[in-house]
Amino acid sequence: MDEADHIQRFLQGDANALCELVEAYRKPLFSFIMQLAGKENDADEIFQEVWLKAMHALPRYRHKDRFASWLFKIAHRQIIDRSRKRKWLLSSDMESDGHTAPEATSETTPRDVVSDHELGSRVREAVATLPHAQREVFLLHMDADLTFKEIARIQKTSINTALARMSYAREKLRDQLSSMYKELI
């Protein structure tokens, strides 16, 4: 996707260009927000607020950062602002996230499908227990595919701090999920 072209088209009045951008980033952005906000209703509202802010800020977007990095930085700020305004703590308790088990194919058995769904649930639960800064780095890198340089800009920290947070997150996840890994072998 040529994001610069979509942005230019939107700025010239093509609303479909914005719709295409929203659709392209719907899954990774909403997933990021959901995993940090913890509640689907809050995530829906934050998602909409992010796009409203982005839409109003697009004329000032300078393309020095990747669009994804810029968009996730807006999301990061919205999550922080909402948490401050409402004085609610970012919850580690993930409510049902609406994920469904993958459908079985001719190569998979029902046991495989259930096992994959349980594995995904256990990984999401483990990620939810990470401290906020580590969870954010993990999700921005793994789900949003941002570089550590981009993550450092979003978190207003050094690249080394972002790398350290990722390292600590991986270590904690490895410790939490090691028993599950042993079950799989």
- Could you identify the residue written with the tokens 């810029």? 70
At residue 119, the pLDDT reads: 66
At residue 180, the pLDDT reads: 66
Element (H, E) at 125: helix 110-128
| Polymer length in residues for the chain | 185
- Could you identify the residue written with the tokens 């991986």? 170
Q: DSSP letter string over 45-111?
A: HHHHHHHHHHHHHGGG--SSS-HHHHHHHHHHHHHHHHHHHHT-PPPS--------PPPP-TT--HH
* Residue-range domains of the chain with CATH: 1-90 (1.10.1740.10), 105-185 (1.10.10.10)
Q: Over the chain (185 residues), what is each successive 10-residue block's mean pLDDT?
A: 89 91 93 85 89 91 86 91 61 39 45 54 86 92 87 92 91 83 54
At residue 38, the pLDDT reads: 75
